Structure 1
Amino acid sequence: MNYHNLGQSGLKVSEFGFGAGTFGGQGPIFSAWGQASLNDAQRMIDLCIDQGVNYFDTADAYSNGASEQMLGALLQSKRQEVIISTKVGIRLNDGINQGGYSRSYLIQAVEASLKRLGTDYIDVLQLHQFDSTTPLEQLMRSLDDLVRSGKVRYIGASNFSGWQLMKAQTIAQQQGYEKLSVHQVYYSLIGRDYEWELMPAQHDQQIGAVVWSPLGWGRLTGKFDREHAIPKQSRLHKTEQFAPLVQHEKLFAVLDVMQEIAMETEHSIPQIALNWLKTRPTVSSILIGARNERQLLDNLAAKEWSLSVEQLARLDAVSAVYPPYPYYPYWNGQFTEKNPTLVTSAFISEHTAE
């Protein structure tokens, strides 16, 4: 297993982490993600640790806290060997102050997560989404207080836009508060919007990316293609309303190239998707959210080999999309129909993953 710095923190995290969204199985989203039994979950945790995984991610919103409870209990005997990351901020009930990042709720949410996880401290606390009602000055001070109290060791965000991330980081720097070390983002071969603004911003600010849904919400599992439609019982039908839109022709074009490379390498479609991601700039860890032992072992096998430069180039080309304003390079004439891989191509060629 390779290990990377989590941003500027100095904390070493495994190239592949484990996402515990499949633990608990409560509610319309998380029951579709997975319903691992306690024994299955323990087996997957043990396999991860045996394979060198040290980064385990959850959230208070996953199955109404059940994911935190299961993960905390299963890691209890390994607490000093692992990094536990959790997220807070999504509204869990109808109470008027039971969501967002007011000082009152943030402290309450952290205390509740600590209790469910059965630990005295959270290694990495992330803000699950942006809250426009709480001043960032207050929020960054509250996060700094949590770090100084010893209840949280490192802080980060999830699903922020570029300006939101930069404003939070600037306030922290100006006031001498703890700065963000990590940003948890959606990034995949069929979802490359991360590259337009967040990737350069995070490189500049030394904020590591932890990638969620690296298989594109299940679209890059290799279970379906042009000839094999999505089964009616697939979990994709239950979660597609939350997933970023991907045109079928674009998806199939990417899968065509992935299938070619799968035949060349004799490795699975998911391994190819994960292998591509591990070469990308700013990526500290890629979360694997396997539903069972077989999927987990197949995904973790991606750490054992690498794609060739030529194969990476083919994946880059087929997955590229025309970037939005102001990121498209209209001023230099580089973009052509035959060469659509632009926007971050120069940046990526100059900044390889650590």
Structure 2
Amino acid sequence: MAMEYRHLGRTGLKVSVLSYGAWVTFGDKIGVPEAKKLLQLCRDGGVNFFDNAEAYAGGKAEEVMGQAIKELGWKRSDLVLSTKIFWGGAGPNDKGLSRKHIIEGTKKALARLQADYVDLIFCHRPDPETPIEETVRAMNFVLDQGWAFYWGTSEWSAQQITQAWDVAHRLNLVGPAMEQPEYNLLHRDKVEKEYAPIYKEYGLGLTTWSPLASGVLTGKYSKGHVPADSRLGQESYKGLKEKKLVDETLDKVDKLKPIADKLGVTLAQLAIGWAARNPHVSSVITGATKEEQVRDNLKSLEVIPKLTPEILEQIDNIVQSKPAADQTWR
């Protein structure tokens, strides 16, 4: 099935509905040779959006992606590259959304990516210690310098996004065009409820992360069994494991398996396709460490037309995570 491209919110930019992110892969598990193979598979499947952040593997993820893209020799205008600024190091000014760190962090990220610009730059988290006006002004400076074309937020509240837009309107500046929230079958409130009033108001586009809920929605985890080579099998993700792998959640995942079987897809494809069917989602960021995972993820496009109202209702009855109908984007 051919890749679908959607506008990033109200912008003129088109991004592939499925994208590829470097979190917990590039620089940690994957070097340049492996990255080139995964990235090429994505491009062959029509993916044009590749997501990164200064925090990923302490900057190594950007280095690996930048070198891989250089060696692949891709045409820059065919790509939509992003990075996110917040956690840049241990120094007191190496993190947060001050003007100093946004500008210095952006320049360092571009150097690691070996790029003159990124298409998208995100504030990786809200910074309660920096006035939003300072952040909005700094992000506009980044845009004015041509270091990025669009700026946005990640895991900001609807109130914080509204405050940023209020500042932008008051100063005749550019507001955040996109937000990058977690969104999956088990985590829906922010996207479907909290943000509902602001989609039309600001034309917010979403590039969502963790469609598989850190792998839980693949069905590979079961009670008492966590694969050693999985993300939640790593010691560094012990806290996430305890949060995600609760019996109630695993029971829900087991009950979703018959629906996936009936549709002739995997649980992972069902979960990714489900996230992509939301019209406010411009792109679903997927991750993969193996070539076969990339191929399987790309097949999620075939799931979207199969998600009839009846199937969606069956899914909702199982996961019990849908916000109240009068408070959602529906």
Relative to the length of structure 2, the TM-score reads 0.90
Alignment partner, residue 40 of structure 1: 34
Alignment partner, residue 9 of structure 1: 11
**Structure 1 unaligned runs (5+)?**
26-34, 322-340, 350-354
User: Aligned match of 2:178 in 156, 161, 182?
Assistant: 182
Is the Cα contact below 8 Å between 2:207 and 2:281 reproduced in 1?
A: yes
Describe the superposition over 1:29-77 as per-residue Cα deviations: whole angstroms up to 9, x where unpaired: xxxxxx0232221011001111000000000110111111111122232
Alignment partner, residue 312 of structure 2: 312
Describe the superposition over 1:14-41 as per-residue Cα deviations: whole angstroms up to 9, x where unpaired: 000000121000xxxxxxxxx0232221
Residue identity in the other structure for 1:104: K
Alignment partner, residue 167 of structure 2: 171
Is the Cα contact below 8 Å between 2:232 and 2:240 reproduced in 1?
A: no
Alignment partner, residue 215 of structure 2: 218
User: What's the secondary structure of 1:124's corresponding residue?
Assistant: strand
Distance 1:66 1:90 in 2: 13
Distance 1:106 1:59 in 2: 12
Is the Cα contact below 8 Å between 1:185 and 1:211 reproduced in 2?
A: yes
User: In the TM superposition, what are the counterparts of 1:253-264 in structure 2 within 5 Å?
Assistant: 253-264=251-262
Aligned-residue offset at 1:113? 0.7
User: Aligned match of 1:56 in 42, 50, 62?
Assistant: 50
Residue identity in the other structure for 2:314: R
Aligned-residue offset at 1:240? 4.3
Residue identity in the other structure for 2:216: R
Is the Cα contact below 8 Å between 2:27 and 2:57 reproduced in 1?
A: yes
**CA RMSD for the aligned pairs?**
2.0
Alignment partner, residue 152 of structure 2: 156
Residue identity in the other structure for 1:99: K
Residue identity in the other structure for 2:40: D
Distance 2:307 2:244 in 1: 26
Is the Cα contact below 8 Å between 1:274 and 1:302 reproduced in 2?
A: yes
Alignment partner, residue 24 of structure 1: 27
**Structure 2 unaligned runs (5+)?**
none
Is the Cα contact below 8 Å between 1:59 and 1:88 reproduced in 2?
A: yes
User: What's the secondary structure of 1:186's corresponding residue?
Assistant: coil
Distance 1:150 1:169 in 2: 21
Distance 2:128 2:188 in 1: 25
User: Aligned match of 1:343 in 314, 317, 324?
Assistant: 324
Describe the superposition over 1:168-202 as per-residue Cα deviations: whole angstroms up to 9, x where unpaired: 12211221111111101101111122222024423
Relative to the length of structure 1, the TM-score reads 0.85
Residue identity in the other structure for 1:142: A
Residue identity in the other structure for 2:301: K
Mapped pair 1:112 → 2:114: no
User: What's the secondary structure of 2:178's corresponding residue?
Assistant: strand
Residue identity in the other structure for 2:292: R
Is the Cα contact below 8 Å between 1:190 and 1:246 reproduced in 2?
A: no
User: Aligned match of 1:147 in 143, 146, 157?
Assistant: 143
Residue identity in the other structure for 2:49: Y
CA 1:278/1:244 → structure 2, altered by over 3 Å: closer, same or farther? Answer: farther
Residue identity in the other structure for 2:317: A
Residue identity in the other structure for 2:51: D
Aligned-residue offset at 1:319? 2.0
Alignment partner, residue 300 of structure 2: 302
Is the Cα contact below 8 Å between 2:214 and 2:231 reproduced in 1?
A: no
Alignment partner, residue 64 of structure 2: 70
Distance 1:284 1:318 in 2: 26
CA 1:213/1:129 → structure 2, altered by over 3 Å: closer, same or farther? Answer: same
CA 1:72/1:43 → structure 2, altered by over 3 Å: closer, same or farther? Answer: same
Alignment partner, residue 204 of structure 2: 207
Distance 1:259 1:293 in 2: 24
Aligned-residue offset at 1:342? 4.5
CA 1:291/1:46 → structure 2, altered by over 3 Å: closer, same or farther? Answer: same
Is the Cα contact below 8 Å between 2:183 and 2:209 reproduced in 1?
A: yes
Describe the superposition over 1:281-321 as per-residue Cα deviations: whole angstroms up to 9, x where unpaired: 41110011111111111111111343331212211232233
CA 1:250/1:200 → structure 2, altered by over 3 Å: closer, same or farther? Answer: farther
Is the Cα contact below 8 Å between 1:280 and 1:348 reproduced in 2?
A: no
Residue identity in the other structure for 1:45: L
Greater shift in the superposed pair: 159-168 or 9-18: 159-168
Residue identity in the other structure for 1:11: L
